[in-house]
Amino acid sequence: MKTIHFASSNRGKIEEVTKHLKSFGIAVHGNRIEMPEISSDDLESIAKEKAKAASNIIGKPVIVEDTGLYFGACRDFPGTHPKFVFKGIGYEGIFRLLEGKSRKACFRTVVAYCEPGKEPKTFEGISRGEITEGVSGKPDPALPYDAVFMPESDNRTYSQMTKEEKAKTSHRAKALEAFARWFNSV
């Protein structure tokens, strides 16, 4: 079984990545580290810079991921800053922001792989859907948007699904699958 390091300060992401990559025969060594994050509206640039920093800190090949959330009615806000926005306005603020507007939204995840001293390679996954009008399922503080995001392919939010069901449509799963196919081929 191949092994890869995954760097994140988010325990929920580490659990999700570990479980998903295991199904591709890849063992994950989770590294709960804080990485510097550039301020940018470009998700790929953020992921690449985080991957470079993480590979230098760990000293081994590593993957990182960065996820953006884009509300169609708000010119793709909050974009690359969903965590910051949620901490600031929470569910109530999100619902108020979208009141009377289209609730269409999409998650976009970029997984970046990097070996120390080399340029990162990226893999993308997108999940389209909508923001619900209320919190559904049990909110996870590590992944708060899962309780309000309903993918197009289902009538439940991610937090109402099992982890296996979520993995069938999730943006993170799609990006990880692209990485796993590449990683297992090299």
Residues known to be catalytic:
66
SS3 content of the chain, % helix, strand, coil (to 5): 40, 30, 30
105 closest CA partner among 165, 65, 142, 158: 158
Element (H, E) at 75: none
114 closest CA partner among 54, 44, 29: 54
92 vs 128: CA distance, rounded Å: 22
How many Cα atoms are found within 13 Å in the side-chain-facing hemisphere of 116?
Answer: 7
CB 66 within 8 A of CB 46: yes
Element (H, E) at 177: helix 171-185
Token pair of 106 as six digits:
């999409």
CB 66 within 8 A of CB 50: yes
Cis peptide before 78 (omega within 30 of 0): yes
